[in-house]
Structures are given as structure tokens and as C-alpha cells.
Copies of this chain bind each other. A is one copy, B any other.
Amino acid sequence: MEQPIERTQERIYHGLNIPSEVEEVRARARHFAEHEVAPVVTAMEESPERVSSFPADLVARMAELGLYRIPYSSEEGGAGLGTPMLAAAVVMEELAYYSNSIAVIYDCQCLLSGRVLQYASHELKMSYLPHIMSGRKIACVAITEPDAGSDVSPASIGTTAMPDGNGWRLRGRKRFIINAPVADFSFVLCTVDGSLSMVVVDLKQDGVYVSPPDRKLGMHGCLTADIVLDGAYVPATNLVWQAGKGLRIALGALTRGRIAVGASGVGMAQRCLDLSVHHMKTRRLFGRALAEMQHWQFRFAEHATHIAMARDLCYKAALRHDYGEEFPEPETAMAKFYGTQVAADIARDAVQVHGGYGFVSRLGADDTLYAVERLYRESKGPEIYEGTNEVQKWMIARQMFGR
């Protein structure tokens, strides 16, 4: 299992403007991550991606602990926090500290999916949101297609809805859909009458085929797969908001998602820093602790600075969202790209400072586990998903150049 070690967060970061209810959420998420995720993360990540390996227990426990209710208002049956997005970002950070697989499952279950429903009619919302918050059903959001990654435009989205009675039949293929192999329903971006729209599709029906899970570089605890829609039925009432609003809804959901993914980067980066500091203090070379080597002191001082800034950037984007900005830019784009970049940067140095131990997941001699090799693999994904970092930079540039 993952060993809890001294956290350096308090040494290098002082929060400002963080409400105490958010600190309470952090404590709850941290307790869960430390006592329930950490013990099983190695086993979870060592098994290849199979439907049977989905961490259903942890997903259910997050529901019991009320974590899926955090992003929602009391009226919606949620936790009713003053700064729900900030609290959700903190949950992501604490989950990703031990497992980015769990963090991204959380993201898809209640942040992306739930955000889509906030654009839906009261009736539609109330027929899905309670199941999301209770964890009784697993949700997913299907935007990406084999020939359209970050490019979300009507011309490039090939999934189409054809009228059939009081609803539609969907045809198309979605790719890299997180949670798809275990999900009960999916929000699907498709074209209705040639305009981008978002519909809710029951996945447990004929006309839906979910491929075997993809095998990935890291994050084996979360499953991605293709969803093939071959005439799946969608009742007209399952249209979110109205036809033509699909892109707006997707961007709205991805705004929350991107803040959350930035925060997951911060969590991974913090874990890398803590593991590295621990190692540097205990490992001796040439008669001195690694922590006495100026080269590593300066490298990790730089990383610590980057982590502190990335964390504030995510919190700032979240707070602006909580204060009413639907699209808090450029902070959201900055938080996503910078938070995830910092994680991959420090993961590389974390492996390096561990030397040979950074490259092993399990030492043959005594079965000791080392987490940094997993973090090295895990941290690369977030630079890509929910809009590659290049797309984020392009969004910042567009704001800057006024286009």
C-alpha cells in the first residue's frame, strides 16, 4: 500500500481566501483518500484494465461520504456549499494525491455529468441527478470521436440523431469515454438537424455497444472505451436544454472539468514533492543526504514554487466560477495547462531523484513498492484530456489577441 509520509504542503503553501467549509471538505476527502484509496491503489493500478477491475467499492464509498453532492446546491439535493467548485477542486486534489484514476472517475461522475444536467429541464435533471449523487448509477460524458479530438464543431462530430417517433435513433462512435464500460447512461454530443446537441442515452439498451477497455500508459483504475451507437433510442425528453445548445453545454461542463483536472495535477505534483522530499532526507550519497545536494535543493525549490502557483491558479478559477462567471477565462485555461504541466515536470524529476528506485514499481528482493513510477505514468494523461494543453494556450492567446 501507499505509505503516508510527511506532507510538505503546509511548509510551502499558505492558503488565502479559503472558506472553512472548504477546509472541512478537504479533511473529509483526505481522510478517505488516505484510509481507503491509498491501501488499494497499488493493486488497482497493477491489474490491467478490465470491467471487473473497476473500483466499484470506492465509487460507492464516495457516495456514502457525500462527495458527489459537493458541487450541488441544497435545492438540487446537494451539499449547498458557498463555494462548491472550489470545494470540488479540493476534492480532486486530495483524491489525485493518491490516485488520479479515482479523481477522474469522480470528475466524470459528478462534475462533468452533473454540470450538463444543470442546463437541463427540472424534470430531466431530477430523473438523473439523484442517481449521480447517490452513486447508484454511473454516468459518463461522450464528446470525443475517433476523428475529432479537441475539435468540437458540427462538421467534425459524426454522431447523428435521426427522428424516430417521439424521439431519435443515434448512430456514431465515441472514443476514450471515461467510465463507459461500467456506465449506466451517457451524455452524448451529437447533431440533431445538423446542429450540435446534447442528449442523455441509456447505455443498457440494444443499439449500444461498448468496446473492451483501452489499455493505457497509466490510470488503470479508470476505464475508457469506445461507445458505438447503432440505433440507440433517445426519447425527446432526454434532450438537454434545446437543440443547437450542445457546444455551449459541452463547454460549460468542460469549464468545471478543466478546473478540476488542473487541481488533480496539483494533487499529483504535491505527492511527487512529498515522496521526493522524504526520499531526499533518507537517502544518502557520497556520505551526505540527497537533501544536502544544492542541485536537488534548487530543483525542488523551483517545483515547490510552481506547485504553489498552480494551486492558487486552480482555486482562483474555481472561485471566479463560484462567484458567478460561467466561463472564468483565462484562469480556467491557465489552471488546466499549468496545473497538469507542473505535475508532469515534477514527476520526471521525482523519478530522477529516486534513481533506480524511481524506475521500479515493486522491488523484486523484498516487494517494496515505489509510487513515483506510477505518478510518472499517471501525470502524462491530464496534459491531454479535457482539451490538450495546446488548446488551452490557444484559448489564452485568443483572449489576448482579441479573437
Contacts and interface: CB of A to CB of B under 8 A. Distances in A.
Interface of A: 46, 49, 144, 147, 149-151, 153, 173, 175-176, 211-218, 224-226, 228, 284-286, 295, 344, 348, 351-352, 355-356, 358-366, 373, 376-377, 380-381, 383-385, 388-390
The copy count of this chain in the complex is 2
Nearest to A213: B364
Contacts of A175: 356, 365
B360 A216 contact: yes
A309 to B, nearest CB: 21
Nearest to A209: B365
Contact of A377 (B49, B149, B217, B352): B217
A211 to B, nearest CB: 4
Chain A interface, DSSP helix/strand/loop, else mixed:
mixed
A361 B215 CA distance: 5
B384 A216 contact: no
A262 B46 CA distance: 30
A365 B226 contact: yes
B384 A380 contact: no
A356 B225 CA distance: 11
A352 B384 contact: yes
A352 B383 contact: yes
B364 A226 contact: yes
Contacts of A49: 364
A61 to B, nearest CB: 27
A356 B384 contact: yes
A377 B377 CA distance: 7
Contacts of A356: 144, 149, 175-176, 384-385
A147 B217 contact: no
Given A151-B286, A226-B364, A348 B380 contact: yes
A361 B216 CA distance: 5
Which of A151, A364, A384, A390 is packed against the most chain B CB atoms within 10 Å? A364
A175 B368 CA distance: 13
Contacts of A213: 364
B216 A359 contact: yes
